[in-house]
Structure 1
Amino acid sequence: MSLKMIYGRSGSGKTTIMYDLIKKNLEENPSSNHIILVPEQYTFRSEQKVLKDLKETSIFNVSVMSFNSIVKKVLNTVGGSNHDLVSETGKTMLMTRALFNIKDELVYFKRVSKNTGFIELAKELVDQMKRFDIDIIEFEKIIDNLDDIELLQKLKDIKLFYSEYNKELSKNYIDLIDEANYSLEKFKDAFFLKDSFIYIDEFNDFSEIQYKILEKIFLYAKKTYISLTIDVEDRFNDIFYITKDTDNKLSKVAVESSTYIEKPIIIKDETPKRFQKGKELDHLQKEFFKYPSKKFIKEPSNIKLYRAQNRYDEVERVCTDIINKTREDDTLKYNDIAILCRDIESYESVIRSVFREHDLPIFLDKRLPIDGNLLSLYIISLLEMVVYGYSYENVFKLLKTGLTKMSIDDIHILENYILAYDIKGYKYNEVFEYSYPNIRDEKLNKIYMDKVNNIREELILIYNDFLENIKEKITVKEKVELLFIHLSENEIFEKTYKDIYIDESIISKKSEGILKEQEEVNKSIIEIMDNFVEVLGEDILENKDFLSIFKAAIESHEAAIIPFTLDQIIVGDVARVKTGRIKNLYILGANDGIFPRTIRDDELLSDKDIIKIKEEGVEIGIDSRSKSFYEQFLVYTAFSTASEFMWISYAASDIDGKSLRPSIVISRLKNIFINLEEEVYINPYEVQNDGIESLDSRKGSFNKLIHEMRRDIQGEDVNPLWGEVYNYYDNNPEYKYKLKIAESGLEYTNQVKSLSEESANKLYDKNLYLSVSKIEKFSECPFAYYVRYGLMAKERKFYEMTPPDIGTLMHSVIDQFTEDIKGIELGISSLDKEFIRESVDLLVDKEIEKNNLIYKSSPRYRYMGEKVKKIIYKSIDTLTAQIAKGDFIPMFNELGFGVGSNLPPLAIDIPGEDKEALLMGRIDRIDVLEMEGKSYIRIIDYKSSDKNISLNDVYYGLQLQLLVYLEVVLKNWEKLVSNEAIPGAILYFRMDNPMIKGSLDLSDKEIEIEILKSLRMKGMILNDAKVIKSMDKDMEGYSLVIPARFRKDGELSSASKETILTEEEFTILREYTKKKLGLILKEMVKGNISIVPYKNKDLTPCRYCEYKSICQFDTKIKDNNYNNLRLFTTDELWNNMQKTKEEEDGKNLD
């Protein structure tokens, strides 16, 4: 029994000496067992090394083991425990059950004990306590001696779940640490250890249980060799703090087990074997942690420092460097290269994406979390449906995994309906009867309703049985069986592979890694279900607890992935990856707080807690000081990994553009290598490489080709080399189609061409049936009109009340109210407020019952319904007051014009076209004043928002509605009134319940006057004092009803030429409106669908346009310009429109 230590710095040849000793001992002791003991993650590479380095020697008696495997071999040889070994998933389930059992006893952790994150932290702390061999009796003594109240509460809770967990575990199971403890007494009977040679390599430290196993190995093995990374001559360097501490503990174990400690092997080579080709790397690992350090004067050729713009650029440049180096050196294989980060999570997705793009094979040495996998999402969503029923989130989270039989189109059809009517729960089992959202055509609506109900039936057919069968009061085993049957019958496992295979039997080479990962995920899900049955099988859990434990198991489970080929670039965390012999190393993410990592208190016991407990004589964890030494040691380990070349880089900004600082190791590196140049980000497309060196991988070169094609289009000089590259890709079946897409993309502009004559004719028949609002939409932006009314694209309807919905409701109620009171002899002005209030309540409730059930769906919407009632009541109350103040009498409400309406459509000739447009619409209210043998017409349009008429907007065709209504009435006046019809006014009335500003002592009369002022109608009125007085008989100065004012001399104020119009000006406006309509319609039928929104100062329809994500209008893009409207003065507008009228009059004379 003897122990021989091997000391040396990284790269000094410790492993080489170890294998030389194996060869020597194999020759001298061929019948003895030779066991190489390495960390778990290093066993595969060690087995490869044994086959390679010991091939000429008898290796039948050589075994590569980890601590776990040596324990298993002892127990398999001698006889193990009667308990089954619990998996990590099983431990999560047991911890969940343990915490549930003691939930009422917990104090400090009571509120967080059900959180998945806490379950994992509790499990890790229990494992840590076992690794440190914590005796529960000693733990209780600490609790008795503590005076720190907060820590005392923590430890009492920890003792509770530690004890409860072990109680649950001991019923049927044993974990790895307990198994190791159990095996200790068995080592003496393990014959394979007797007179064996043990070689322990690649460790820096050991846990308490591992020291106990080492004690047994020292006792029964013939000779034990252990290598440690220590520079024995450098006594004062803290970098070896961890390994020196390990060495002291090993010596103590050896003494206690009466093991003879031989003279160690100390490697003192000036230049270690690893760095024979990398002198700078040798200098780096020797001097980096020395103070003062020796400077390296020459410009280093084996070390490169790069400051990247961001992580994507950082990884992109690494790919380019790897491609160049493997191209320059035929002997450099991918498995000679490693990429290390200290924050692999931040780089993982970028590395996968960029390396795939460059066709570089990588093996990510990291256990794969399965909680984001589609299969995991499907199962969790399914179980959430069990607990919470058919809710939108659960149903569509499940359907959108793509693992169901439902097509994506069917999912969208169902989703639109569910969102529009807030369907949930039992409603899924009832036939959907409400009309399909945004479809008014009855035939088309029936098609969609049949379709959505068929989809609904398909959905409940698949899931109802499962949801009904998985009862609360059945065992966990029965629930798991039901889940497995559902997954099998619906071929869910098979569907996880559907996007990986090219067809049923062929898989693309690029997808091999993805296939392996999915296979491991599927195995993991089966393993979780097996663990459920094994650990909790006979328990009866409520479905919400079943879901909670399943979710915790999935979130904590990580699948082990093994390399599917040997020649791959290894990628991983500095702390985990054991790289073996690496020629070229790339260290990414050398940023402040990341490399080395900042020590944080993110565990159940803080650093302060750990130190306090240590002072009481019990070691329960690693304190921040030791963690800091560990981080320094990782930096040293990384810097001494490569034998020939090392790249180190950092990102200047994160994904959001926030600046990042370089790590302290960067400044230290520059301080030692005084001529080390820091390369900085340069746009690769701005660097013109004329030679073949500009080409790297097929994908990378393809991207560069596209850039050169863009330069060529812009008229820049391009190297003829790129013509040959173009021909290569054009003749490559894999890239030919991609090249064509790229070419079309280079010619891309979001601006659209006009519709062909054939398409325009299909869209616009011989006679166009249009509303004025559609024409105004075209004037705002032709493309928006085309998308809305040509393509019939509509925003998804949600189960919510929008301003247009509220406006429609208010319109409907006011129209019905005015219709209902037609028979009242004294008219609307005679109605009292109570009658109006009761009528409004009745009509709103009736309308809600018929079309707007959403108002009953929640307290918020019920409140909104009451608010709408108040607005309508106040609006009608104001309307009655306005009518009462004048002599105009409401004659018509909701008067329609168009095919099948009260009045015929308004026909508009389209210049130069053999077509005419027929305008249709509905006029909210027409008031009439009979005076002096003439009928004065007042058109009123109800609006739910504030609106006025602008002559500029009329001029540009943006506001034609009221003028079209006026034209329709005047053109058909004989059908409506007995006398000649004269335009009296065109006005907007805003429906609102305004807030009145003023003192608290305002009288009712004063409040009423303020409300009338606030809701004063806006628009244009005839310049006739009698007519104006007939709209507001009490008018003195400013009118409370219309936008007019009398001066003190009794004359009308001429303050606004846009508001007070003569009869001639009304005629000019009417004639101009018809002319403008014809010009707009001409552009429409010509197929103009250009993306040219208007702009009036800062006002543009793009601000609220629902189609801006389609057109992607941006003035920075070529051919993207606003239709900037010149704002004319009122006089200029009247002159321009007068000319139009005179032109029309001249044509009529001709």
Structure 2
Amino acid sequence: MDLILSNTNYGAIEGVIERFKARFDEGEHIFIVPDRFSMSMEKRLLESLNLTSSFNVEVVTFNRLAKKIMGNAADRCLTPEGSVLLLEKVVMESEGNLKYFKNFANRVSFARDLYATLTELRNSAVSANDLYKSAENMPKGIKDKIYDTAYLLEGYENALSEKVFDSTTRLKALADEISKQTLSQSFYVCGFSSYKAPELKIVEILNKTATYLCVGAVSGAGNANSRIYPYSLVAKLRNFEGVSESRYNYRLEKPFETISKYLFSYERVKPAPSGGKVKVKEFYTPFEETRFVAGEIAKAVREGRRYKDFTVAICDGGYAPIIKSVFGQYGIPFFIDKGYLVSQTLTAKYLLSLMRAVIDNYSLDSVLDFMKNPLFGEDCFDFENYCLKYSVDFVTRPFKFGEYEEPEKLRQKFEKLALTIPSKGKASDFSDALQKLLKSAVDNLGESLALTSLYKKLIDGSAKKIYTVLDEASAIMGDEQFETEEFYRTFSSAIAKLEVSVLPMYSDCVIIGDAESTKFYDTKNLFVLGANEGFLPRMSDGGVLLNHRAEDMLSKNGITLLSSAENNNISAMLSAVDMLISPSEKLWVSYSAKGADEQTLTASNVAAELKNYFSDCDNEDETKDDITDYCTLKNCFFKVMESMENPPDESHKKLTDAAYSVLTAEQKRRIEKLAPRQEYLVCESQKIKSTSVSRLEKFYGCPYSYYFAYMLGLKKREETSIMSTETGTIIHAVLEAFFRNEEEVKNINSFVEEQFAEIFKDERLKSKMEKSGDNSQIMRLKAECKKIVTDLDELSKRSKFKPIFVEAEFADTKDGFGAIKLSTKYGEVELRGKIDRVDAYDGYCLIIDYKSFKSASLSLSDIYFGKKLQLYIYLSALVGSKNFKPAGAFYLPLFNSYTDGKRYSLKGQALLDKEILSAIDSECSKKDESLLDITFDGNQEVKSTVGKENKVLTNGQFNTVMEYAKKVAAKGAELISEGFIKASPVKGNCDVCDFSEICSQKDKNPRSIAAGKSGEIIEKMEKVVK
């Protein structure tokens, strides 16, 4: 065996290739390399030979070598997912004999985590007997864990038979097979920093049976950081028979040689310039970091470079979606070299969500989760609206309310699919059903979805993987009986870590790899993103089931795991060094103060060490002041949109203006249409002729919210759940009926029962009544109504003011008072609306509006800013049309839950007249019992203010406020007619806005409505009125 040692993994590979080239004409050659490295190796071998193809060279992994040499026998090997299924069966059979794991065994992820642990043990040549013996010397907690692990390992290995084996037993079988043969091929093994026990055994046997064997390995002998290099592996290789050792030192550029020899040694190195070869950059966010990279690549391509000259390594997986977004804006073709979890693909979710819906008895959430999968092939928007409107929590019965025909068709389609899932059956029954479901869904996909090439490949690739897993489930557990939930758990566990990979779609693109797992080979320029502490390198604290403490206990008993936390961490350091020295031209290492998840981060020690090594690594000015750095129209469009959210300072305004100047007419039109700072509609607004006070109040709360509700006509989805707004409507209806017929009501309890029966004739609320689960809510509301009506009936006896109008309508109708007229510069505008109650006494009137929330209040500031105009506009109409004198304008909060204190209190302003105040409430002078929110001084004179608020007004002040309310209403009507839609919410308005989730201006620049003390506000109103 020729053993080629080198200072780098790349050098070891190149040394092996040199031996290969010298022997190229001598028969067949087989290269054994790590997984996910074979394609790169094939490319490099052909380049080294200056050929486009060759028939006597093959690149394989150890598992592919097993298939090559063992033929059909290797096909009996389970996939990792099949092994998890077999292990799931073993766990289910062993559950009663477990001690430590007995409470974890039924978790979905347990079999998957156990498989990883058992595979590690077997790859480290650790047997069940080894574990049993070591457990005898351990404390009870660890002892039980090791005992259970040994028991499950023994059960798993017993379950493997001569007819089927897993990847570990296949490699053992391969070692046994080649030990019996004389192999005519020349073998080359390279790219490995460590070997599993069966793999190392295969190499040892190849040394005896192959025509020729050459092995490459990296050695850091003499380096300050030699501890991170695999010296124990080199020692094992040296002990093989007939080893001929040679050194192939790969010449690194000086800065990369420094990294190779010193990184992770923490020895002091005299700073030296890197000659521009190494740069370390700090950014505030990953977006800024990624934009810098995109800008550098785009600039280099404009100067004649190719996209494939650049590689990006991401230390944090959260960067992947950011790269997709930013590189898309810059028009940079890229390929993310990663496996996609099958469990997260449409195909797996289609099957899992349908099984979940069956398990959950067709609960609405689970059914919608299934229906919203594109493979279902239907738009379920109307179905969801129907279920919300009629409070369908479980989709178990045919629909019958309202316009049910279309939603019912979807329900029937779902039910037909769900019924194909067995409630109980053999594993083969479940497997067959799921395969038929998936095949039908994928075959019917057709042109129904505009899928990108990537997603089409993912659907096809993941479907094939799932078929394989289900076939293995039938083979391994075919006749075993399962409940639906049991098979769901087994299937979920089997595919939890299963990945599907795709190939690059461009020959010239930027390759994006994972800093931990991707092999960076033959790289020219490398950007390392997210080099933060904890991410570069990613350190391990042991496995999921056998943690660092368990590993230490095993080590003390003579059992060393190949992938222990210590070994994994050393390997991670070496991988980081390999990656950082891989570029032949330039290395950029960057990190952000904020992570992709908004968490505060610090720079990794790697970044700090590089700054210590190289004096010129962070002194480059990267200020962007040229429009060409924006590269594409798409990115210019994005930058202009971004500037509308966050207006640029003067230093960047010229750049933004320049970016806007190169946009297409269509892009400019879109920006003008969507501009968040837009104050008026672009098109001419229709002049309003009539409106309601509530609409005007919404406009003053936020014109943009008004635009959503009444110009675009957007509505919140109807839901049958009795929300606070609907609760208020029901209470209003009961009170209206009571005060309209107060003298005729003999028994309040019976009256409320009759009103509820009438109210719940509504189809939507009737569906609510049919749900026993909601009856308690309705009963509580009914009891609350009985309490409120009884209390208000008693309180009305304390007042000389009696209801004369209930649900008084201000409109030009037969029973109405007539619409309120507003004079605007665009003509007369009619105001329509209703007021809950008007009480009168001796020529005076007061207005009462019920509110279903405790915090209801009416301040003069609210009126001044147009937020609450209703009461004073209606009061003005009554005073004008019925010759009443104003006695008060109040909200009366009525709410479902109460704390200690006054239950009922009129919120607003009353007339400053002791006789009228006593007429409103005979107990008004008693602070703890008064309905009125007023106070008296020591002389029993009414105080005009409570805190900063006026609670009483003179007759003249009432007139001022009424006139001011009408003027503000008229101004609001004019602004609406002019198309004013500026997003300017009153502070707190976004919290209760129906459109906050779709509004880009949510909580931005809220308006304060603190206009000063009440006396000052009255003076301001007087000036406006005059």
Asked if 1 retains the 8 angstrom alpha-carbon contact of 2:399 and 2:408, the reply is no
Report the Cα offset of residue 57 of structure 1: 13
SS at match of 2:792: helix
Aligned length: 1021
2:210 alignment partner in structure 1: 221
> Of 307, 322, 328, which residue of structure 1 is paired with 2:282?
307
SS at match of 1:134: coil
Report the Cα offset of residue 212 of structure 1: 1.9
Report the Cα offset of residue 751 of structure 1: 1.6
Q: Are positions 1:608 and 2:549 aligned together? A: yes
CA 1:287 to 1:991, structure 2 compared with 1: closer, same or farther past 3 Å?
A: closer
SS at match of 1:260: coil
Report the Cα offset of residue 149 of structure 1: 0.6
CA 1:12 to 1:132, structure 2 compared with 1: closer, same or farther past 3 Å?
A: closer
CA 1:115 to 1:571, structure 2 compared with 1: closer, same or farther past 3 Å?
A: same
Q: Are positions 1:1083 and 2:996 aligned together? A: no
Asked if 1 retains the 8 angstrom alpha-carbon contact of 2:37 and 2:519, the reply is yes
1:468 alignment partner in structure 2: 419
> Of 360, 366, 371, which residue of structure 2 is paired with 1:388?
360
Report the Cα offset of residue 335 of structure 1: 4.5
Asked if 2 retains the 8 angstrom alpha-carbon contact of 1:338 and 1:582, the reply is yes
In terms of mean alpha carbon deviation, does 713-722 or 601-610 score higher?
713-722
Q: Deviations over 1:571-623 (max 9, x none)?
A: 32344333333333333333222223223234211222223223333334533
SS at match of 1:170: coil
Distance 1:874 1:711 in 2: 53
Report the Cα offset of residue 1137 of structure 1: 8.8
Aligned residue runs from structure 1 range 678-693, under 5 A: 678-679=618-619, 684=623, 687-689=624-626
> Of 1015, 1025, 1033, which residue of structure 1 is paired with 2:904?
1015
Q: Are positions 1:149 and 2:140 aligned together? A: yes
Distance 2:733 2:916 in 1: 30
Q: Are positions 1:752 and 2:680 aligned together? A: yes
Report the Cα offset of residue 636 of structure 1: 2.9
1:42 alignment partner in structure 2: 37
In terms of mean alpha carbon deviation, does 799-808 or 205-214 score higher?
799-808
> Of 176, 191, 195, which residue of structure 2 is paired with 1:206?
195
CA 1:523 to 1:680, structure 2 compared with 1: closer, same or farther past 3 Å?
A: farther
Report the Cα offset of residue 93 of structure 1: 1.9
SS at match of 2:194: coil
Distance 1:494 1:906 in 2: 57
Distance 1:231 1:1050 in 2: 95
Distance 1:1016 1:701 in 2: 58
1:4 alignment partner in structure 2: 2
SS at match of 2:105: coil
Q: Are positions 1:180 and 2:171 aligned together? A: yes
Report the Cα offset of residue 334 of structure 1: 4.7
Report the Cα offset of residue 1065 of structure 1: 7.0
1:646 alignment partner in structure 2: 587
What amino acid does structure 2 have at the position aligned with 1:377?
K
Asked if 1 retains the 8 angstrom alpha-carbon contact of 2:16 and 2:188, the reply is yes
Aligned residue runs from structure 1 range 1007-1086, under 5 A: 1015-1017=904-906, 1030-1031=919-920, 1040=930, 1072=963, 1076=967, 1079-1080=970-971, 1083=974, 1086=977
Report the Cα offset of residue 14 of structure 1: 3.9
Distance 1:353 1:789 in 2: 34
Report the Cα offset of residue 887 of structure 1: 4.6
Distance 1:558 1:129 in 2: 23
1:827 alignment partner in structure 2: none
Distance 2:412 2:332 in 1: 46
Q: Are positions 1:318 and 2:290 aligned together? A: no
Asked if 1 retains the 8 angstrom alpha-carbon contact of 2:280 and 2:611, the reply is no
Distance 1:387 1:564 in 2: 40
Distance 2:342 2:5 in 1: 41
Asked if 1 retains the 8 angstrom alpha-carbon contact of 2:85 and 2:476, the reply is yes
2:73 alignment partner in structure 1: 80
Report the Cα offset of residue 545 of structure 1: 2.0
Distance 1:849 1:744 in 2: 49
Report the Cα offset of residue 207 of structure 1: 1.4
Q: Are positions 1:249 and 2:244 aligned together? A: no
1:1145 alignment partner in structure 2: none
CA 1:322 to 1:239, structure 2 compared with 1: closer, same or farther past 3 Å?
A: farther
Distance 1:561 1:220 in 2: 37
SS at match of 1:36: strand
Asked if 2 retains the 8 angstrom alpha-carbon contact of 1:1094 and 1:1124, the reply is no
Report the Cα offset of residue 91 of structure 1: 1.8
CA 1:477 to 1:154, structure 2 compared with 1: closer, same or farther past 3 Å?
A: same
Distance 2:908 2:643 in 1: 59
> Of 90, 99, 103, which residue of structure 1 is paired with 2:82?
90
Report the Cα offset of residue 565 of structure 1: 5.0
2:522 alignment partner in structure 1: 581
What amino acid does structure 1 have at the position aligned with 2:233?
T
What amino acid does structure 2 have at the position aligned with 1:310?
T
1:884 alignment partner in structure 2: 797
1:572 alignment partner in structure 2: 513
Q: Deviations over 1:95-121 (max 9, x none)?
A: 222222223332312222233332221
Report the Cα offset of residue 554 of structure 1: 3.3
Asked if 2 retains the 8 angstrom alpha-carbon contact of 1:43 and 1:65, the reply is yes
Report the Cα offset of residue 86 of structure 1: 1.0
Report the Cα offset of residue 367 of structure 1: 2.0
Distance 1:631 1:752 in 2: 58
What amino acid does structure 2 have at the position aligned with 1:412?
F
**Identity, % of aligned positions:** 20
Distance 1:48 1:124 in 2: 32
Distance 2:702 2:830 in 1: 19
Distance 2:635 2:884 in 1: 76
Aligned residue runs from structure 1 range 480-559, under 5 A: 480-490=431-441, 494=445, 498-500=449-451, 512-559=453-500
Distance 2:892 2:178 in 1: 96
> Of 695, 714, 736, which residue of structure 2 is paired with 1:793?
714
Q: Are positions 1:399 and 2:371 aligned together? A: yes
Q: Are positions 1:413 and 2:385 aligned together? A: no
SS at match of 1:173: coil
Report the Cα offset of residue 1055 of structure 1: 7.4
Asked if 2 retains the 8 angstrom alpha-carbon contact of 1:771 and 1:921, the reply is no
Give the TM-score normalised by structure 2: 0.86
Report the Cα offset of residue 209 of structure 1: 0.7
CA 1:227 to 1:956, structure 2 compared with 1: closer, same or farther past 3 Å?
A: closer
In terms of mean alpha carbon deviation, does 1127-1136 or 363-372 score higher?
1127-1136
What amino acid does structure 2 have at the position aligned with 1:810?
I
1:625 alignment partner in structure 2: 566
SS at match of 1:458: helix
SS at match of 1:306: strand
> Of 36, 52, 61, which residue of structure 1 is paired with 2:47?
52
Distance 1:147 1:339 in 2: 46
What amino acid does structure 1 have at the position aligned with 2:904?
L
Asked if 1 retains the 8 angstrom alpha-carbon contact of 2:291 and 2:326, the reply is yes
> Of 163, 182, 186, which residue of structure 2 is paired with 1:197?
186
Aligned residue runs from structure 1 range 248-267, under 5 A: 248-252=235-239, 254=240, 259-262=241-244, 264-267=245-248
Asked if 1 retains the 8 angstrom alpha-carbon contact of 2:352 and 2:492, the reply is yes
Asked if 1 retains the 8 angstrom alpha-carbon contact of 2:801 and 2:839, the reply is no
Distance 1:1138 1:713 in 2: 38
Report the Cα offset of residue 891 of structure 1: 5.0
Distance 1:266 1:486 in 2: 58
CA 1:94 to 1:986, structure 2 compared with 1: closer, same or farther past 3 Å?
A: same
CA 1:318 to 1:135, structure 2 compared with 1: closer, same or farther past 3 Å?
A: same
Report the Cα offset of residue 51 of structure 1: 2.8
2:428 alignment partner in structure 1: 477
In terms of mean alpha carbon deviation, does 219-228 or 853-862 score higher?
853-862
Asked if 2 retains the 8 angstrom alpha-carbon contact of 1:288 and 1:672, the reply is no
Greater Rg by CA:
1
Distance 2:998 2:935 in 1: 47
Q: Are positions 1:676 and 2:616 aligned together? A: yes
Give the TM-score normalised by structure 1: 0.78
